[in-house]
Amino acid sequence: MDLAYLRAHPQHLPTFLTHQRIRETPVGGGDVCTASRLTLDDGTSLFTKAWPSGSAPEHFFATEAAGLQWLRQARSVPIPEVIVALPELLALEWIDAGQASPAAAERFGRELAGLHRKGADTFGAEWPGFIGPLPQDNTPSAGPWASWFAERRLRPYLKISADSGALSAADVAAVEQVIHKIEGYGGGEPPARIHGDLWPGNVVWGADGRAWLVDPAAHGGHRETDLAQLRLFGGAPHLETIMSAYAEEWPLADGWRERVPVHQLHLLLIHTAAFGGAYRSAVRSATDAALGK
């Protein structure tokens, strides 16, 4: 099987894998899916993701494929091409890894601004949403951003986290204070075209000297959400270079630094909802910072 054949017959990929007709090498794939590098007969490499056991949730890989293709349409930050999108797996263009450099970071900042500026028709998206292993409500909304973000991006994962015991009653009450004050955290901009899950692990620094975006939860949202997520879990390399280049292309509204914890709460609540109380302190720290404590 070569790339031309696979493009013409994507439905045959699972059969070739089952019968070991394609060289498959396991690689790191994150906390949700199993991942492999495929080497085709013509030497082409692909990155594949599959649900680890049983059937993937309905639309899971179709959602990621739709998001990747929508981000690629902006022709700004490089996004891997979708080669195969089936209910049970996703196969993407392979990215050769390189090193994060100041030059790559500067280019990434400018290209990320270009992606965001491409915009979106509404908040949400035309496809069902997932983020990590969890569904995400992508029902298109005219906004405003504040109420949409509170009801579609914070409250559902706060409830899951509370019901599972990952957050205490005091934690929940603190997050509810942020939700109650959400109108005061800005958000007057129209929807941006955002990655939606832009923690540093979803930026692949390529051998071509560019930063590639992978594993999106793409939708129309607030551009500050992507930028705030880049600061999580140790932060992206050369973060201030990224931010400076971004600001030269598209300056942020006044007060954006104070709003970072609010935007980070979305992804942090996803973590308590999906992975439990190990992320409780991060949720509480962001909440307290958002409340000025």
**Strand 192-194 to 219-221 pairing:** antiparallel
Question: Which class would CATH give 3-93?
Answer: alpha beta
Predicted local confidence at residue 261, as pLDDT: 98
Fold of domain 102-290: Aminoglycoside 3'-phosphotransferase; Chain: A, domain 2 (3.90.1200)
For residue 32, the tally of other CB atoms under 10 A from its CB is: 18
pTM: 0.95
- Extents of the domains making up the chain: 3-93, 102-290
pLDDT tens column, 38-81: 999 999 999 999 988 778 899 999 999 999 999 999 999 999 99
How does residue 6 score in pLDDT terms, banded at 50, 70 and 90? very high
Dihedral angle of Cα 73, 52, 18, 214, to the nearest 10 degrees? 20
Mean pLDDT of 5-22: 90
The pLDDT value given to residue 41:
92
Q: What is the pLDDT of residue 86?
A: 95
